[in-house]
Amino acid sequence: MGLREISRVVAALRTREGGGFVVRRPFPTPQLDMVDPFLLLDEMGPVEYAPGEAVGAPDHPHRGFETVTYMLEGEFEHEDSAGHRGRIAPGDVQWMTAGDGVVHSEMPAQWIRERGGRVHGFQLWVNLPARDKRIAPRYQDVRARDIPAWRSADGRATIKVIAGSANGVTGAAQTRIPITYLDVLLARDADVTLDLDPSQSAFVYVFGGALQVGAERRTASDGELALLTAGDALRLRASADGARALVLAGQPLREPVARYGPFVMNTREEIYQAVADFQSGRFGRIAR
Ligand code: MN
């Protein structure tokens, strides 16, 4: 099938989320609604909070999809209505399958809220197939040390495999549908080619430097998302400044999407049901 090329480049928009923290959001935006099976990607920061300034996303519900939080710098505290509590430290991933529904809170750690500090990370929303939208909630807390990496022979490329696989290295997280989630670090002039399952639709989000894709060598730069054509391999060449990027790929669901804030279902009726269930307390509450 050959190399994937860039079909379209979309710039991330700056917006506010949760309690008012600023994110760079490549989608959803007026330019790009979703990349089936992905519903949202937010880059949180990087931001340097002063003491008392850090904000997060206090108690809110989810139903019908998965939220995947990946911290690069700083630390988040998480708690939810099922009694789950945890910390997401630099390099850690929390893969939360909201399924039938949870109420949770995602906040910068108390020490960052009190003393200030730097926060940088990602949140990705992965849609669930209709058959899985109301499964019991599940967490996978993946620690940084348990995330394997592929390294090029010349040492210029390091690819952390959060889910799926890259050149024979299999990722740490289990997924409901085939998903590839890679964190790519390229030194200047790095040139790597990765196998990429041809059944998955894919994009690259660049969050530092710039890179060129495929044989056509179209460029994506910091803050840009590049949608990719079909293919079974992805060639990335870093600029003279190097590049940081996420590569995300997934098997498209090709199902109807009804979304309303934190609920993503297949029909409007299912959205009404989710709102009614939340308002009547069926998602529970966080015990404090
Ligand atoms: Mn959330």
Beta bridge partners of 192: 236
Contact 246, 224 (CB under 8 A): no
Does 140 share its domain with 30?
yes
Rounded to the nearest whole angstrom, what is the distance from the C-alpha of residue 204 to the centroid of ligand 1? 23
With a CB cutoff of 8 Å and minimum separation 6, the contacts of 18 are: 55, 56, 57, 58, 60, 106
Does 98 share its domain with 122?
yes
* Cβ atoms within 10 Å, residue 271: 19
Does 192 share its domain with 260?
no
Nearest to 132 by CA among 217, 188, 66, 71: 66
Cis peptide before 198 (omega within 30 of 0): no
User: 2 lies in a domain?
Assistant: no
Rounded to the nearest whole angstrom, what is the distance from the C-alpha of residue 176 to the centroid of ligand 1? 19
Does 139 share its domain with 152?
no
Does 77 share its domain with 135?
yes
Question: Quick check: 17 pLDDT over 90?
Answer: no
Question: Quick check: 172 pLDDT over 80?
Answer: yes
Rounded to the nearest whole angstrom, what is the distance from the C-alpha of residue 116 to the centroid of ligand 1? 22
Rounded to the nearest whole angstrom, what is the distance from the C-alpha of residue 18 to the centroid of ligand 1? 8
Tally of CA atoms within 13 A in the half-sphere of 145 that contains its CB: 0
Rounded to the nearest whole angstrom, what is the distance from the C-alpha of residue 262 to the centroid of ligand 1? 7
Integer Cα distance of 281 and 270 in angstroms = 17
Rounded to the nearest whole angstrom, what is the distance from the C-alpha of residue 217 to the centroid of ligand 1? 37
- Name the band, by pLDDT with cuts 50, 70 and 90, for residue 37: very high
The CA-based dihedral angle spanning residues 243, 214, 167, 39, taken in that order and rounded to the nearest 10 degrees: 70
- Mean predicted confidence (pLDDT) in 189-207: 97
Nearest to 70 by CA among 93, 89, 86: 93
User: 76 lies in a domain?
Assistant: yes
- CATH code for the domain of 197: 2.60.120.10
The model carries a pTM of: 0.97
In what helix (H) or strand (E) does residue 114 lie, and over which residues does it extend? helix 110-115
Burial class (CB in 10 A: 0-12, 13-18, 19+), 287: exposed
Integer Cα distance of 233 and 210 in angstroms = 19
The rounded mean pLDDT for the chain is 96
User: 176 lies in a domain?
Assistant: yes
Contact 105, 57 (CB under 8 A): yes
- Name the band, by pLDDT with cuts 50, 70 and 90, for residue 117: very high
With a CB cutoff of 8 Å and minimum separation 6, the contacts of 7 are: 227, 228, 229
Question: Quick check: 10 pLDDT over 90?
Answer: yes
Does 140 share its domain with 260?
yes
Does 270 share its domain with 230?
no
Pairing of strands 13-17, 218-221: unpaired
Does 18 share its domain with 135?
yes
Which residue in the block uniquely carries the two structure tokens 């920061």? 45
pLDDT on residue 219: 98
C-alpha 222: how far from its chain's center?
17
Does 17 share its domain with 140?
yes
Question: Quick check: 141 pLDDT over 90?
Answer: yes
pLDDT on residue 287: 87
Instruction: Give the DSSP letter of residue 132.
Output: G
Rounded to the nearest whole angstrom, what is the distance from the C-alpha of residue 232 to the centroid of ligand 1? 33
Q: Report the domain count for the chain.
A: 2
What residue type is assigned to position 149 of the chain?
Answer: A
- Name the band, by pLDDT with cuts 50, 70 and 90, for residue 16: confident
User: 24 lies in a domain?
Assistant: yes
- Name the band, by pLDDT with cuts 50, 70 and 90, for residue 1: confident
pLDDT per position as a tens digit, 65-115:
999 999 999 999 999 998 889 999 999 999 999 999 999 999 999 999 999
Rounded to the nearest whole angstrom, what is the distance from the C-alpha of residue 62 to the centroid of ligand 1? 7
Does 72 share its domain with 186?
no
Does 227 share its domain with 268?
no
Rounded to the nearest whole angstrom, what is the distance from the C-alpha of residue 119 to the centroid of ligand 1? 17
In what helix (H) or strand (E) does residue 269 lie, and over which residues does it extend? helix 268-279
User: 206 lies in a domain?
Assistant: yes
Burial class (CB in 10 A: 0-12, 13-18, 19+), 92: buried
Secondary structure (DSSP) of 25-73: EEESSSS---BTTEEEEEEEEEEEEPTTT---EEEEEEBSEEEEEEEEE
Phi, psi of 114 (to 5 degrees): -80, -45
Domain enclosing residue 246, as ranges: 148-250
User: 156 lies in a domain?
Assistant: yes
Rounded to the nearest whole angstrom, what is the distance from the C-alpha of residue 177 to the centroid of ligand 1? 20
Does 242 share its domain with 268?
no
